[in-house]
Amino acid sequence: MAAYVLTQAGADVILLEAGGPWDNTTDSAMLTWPYESPRRGKSTKERPFGEFDACIGGWEVPGEPYTRAPGTAFSWWRARMVGGRTNHWGRISLRFGPYDFKRKSRDGLGDDWPISYADVAPYYDKIDRLIGVFGSKENLPNEPNGVFLPPPQPRCYELLVKQAADRLRITCIPARLSILTRPLNGRAACHYCGQCNRGCRVNANFTSTNVLIAPALATGKLTLLTNAMAREVTVDRSGRATGVAYIDKASGEDRHVRARVVVSAASALESARLLLNSTSPLFPNGLANSSGTVGRYITDTTGTDVAGFIPKMTDHVPHNHDGVGGMHLYMPWWLEDRTLDFPRGYHIEVWGGRSMPGYGFMGGIHRYPPGGGYGKQLK
């Protein structure tokens, strides 16, 4: 995003990417049948979610070992490709609401932000107009309205879930995903193949690869260096950043680029690594780390899943259930005003239905009793 905004404003930008090149329009396996996979869809070290998956990376990246402190088991998904982790997400694009900026004032936990929702709302609007987010205006207290494209129609099973939610007085509304349901900024609308995870050839879903970086390159103001693993931010005697030292992964050589301004936007863990590596006499514990908290207190999005069976779907006439590559309905955050054994409630994302046969990995029938075992598990 920084590269896009700066180049659009006329600034010269160098973007360092630790992985290789990627272009959804040419590199995606979209519309390839699962049975065409040479490995029957088997995951690889570089593609844990199957060889047709768009994201090159994983929890363990070959050639990039790391250690864990005793008593910890934290894993982090690292993408190694242009566009990074925007090639590996569900496009769920929910805003922080007014309550989220003032949580300590509401429940005593954490800290209030020094800004409010009103301060960032105009920028949320700009993002919606730029990347395209579908949804509906519901005027809920902590699920702010956005600049939405029309949401897709609910699938059959989602309609049945919606009916049940209405009976239980549980709010269930159209999802809010960054997938185009109408053409926007030269990008085509989604044609409902349901394969967002493979990378979208028509750029109907959002990744920074084609929605931000490609237009930035088109300005002629962006230099993109791939396979460039940033090592540290260099500073001058006054402590001002002067550039970035990096490893050219192709040659193994140390290199350095100079810049008047350095933006660290390498995801939470990689940015922390870069700051901690950037030691100097002025910053013996790393850049921006006078508090000693850089790299500490990191968490990830947490969740779980529960499967159910809808009797009304039994013996139903088979029909296309693909839709966008994600949910069409969800239940916004709720129960935060109740006494639970955890704070602040949760939201529910609705998934299910029929789809084309999948890959030969993950989610095997042996995981779903009483399906029993299959193959090695059966023997």
Position 273 scores a pLDDT of 94
Report, as an integer, the average pLDDT of 34-63.
83
Position 361 scores a pLDDT of 57
Three-class secondary structure of residue 128 per DSSP: helix
Tally of structural domains, the chain: 1
For the chain, give the mean pLDDT.
Answer: 90
Tell which wins on pLDDT, 183 or 40: 183
Percent of the chain past pLDDT 90, that is, above it, reads: 65
Three-class secondary structure of residue 7 per DSSP: helix
Report, as an integer, the average pLDDT of 102-114.
94
172 — pLDDT class (breaks 50, 70, 90)? very high
Extended beta strands in 119-269, E state: 173-174, 222-225, 228-235, 241-248, 253-258
CA–CA distance from 346 to each of 133, 306, 319, 336 (Å)? 22, 14, 32, 7
Position 367 scores a pLDDT of 55
Position 155 scores a pLDDT of 92
Q: Is residue 261 part of a domain?
A: no
Q: Is residue 40 part of a domain?
A: yes
Least confident of 65-79, 89-103, 281-295: 65-79
Report, as an integer, the average pLDDT of 174-194.
96
Q: Is residue 18 part of a domain?
A: yes
14 — pLDDT class (breaks 50, 70, 90)? very high
Residue 139 sits in which domain range? 2-151+185-226
Position 117 scores a pLDDT of 98
Q: Is residue 38 part of a domain?
A: yes
Q: Is residue 266 part of a domain?
A: no
Burial class, 339, CB count within 10 angstroms (exposed 0-12 / middle 13-18 / buried 19+): exposed
Tell which wins on pLDDT, 314 or 15: 15
319 has pLDDT over 80: no
Q: Is residue 147 part of a domain?
A: yes
Q: Is residue 310 part of a domain?
A: no
378 has pLDDT over 60: no
pLDDT in tens, 235-271: 999 999 999 999 999 999 999 999 999 999 998 899 9
Tell which wins on pLDDT, 135 or 369: 135
Q: Is residue 156 part of a domain?
A: no
Q: Are 173 and 136 in contact (CB under 8 A)?
A: yes
Bridge partners for 58 per DSSP:
78
Global confidence as pTM: 0.90
Nearest CA-CA partner of 26 in 188, 193, 203: 203
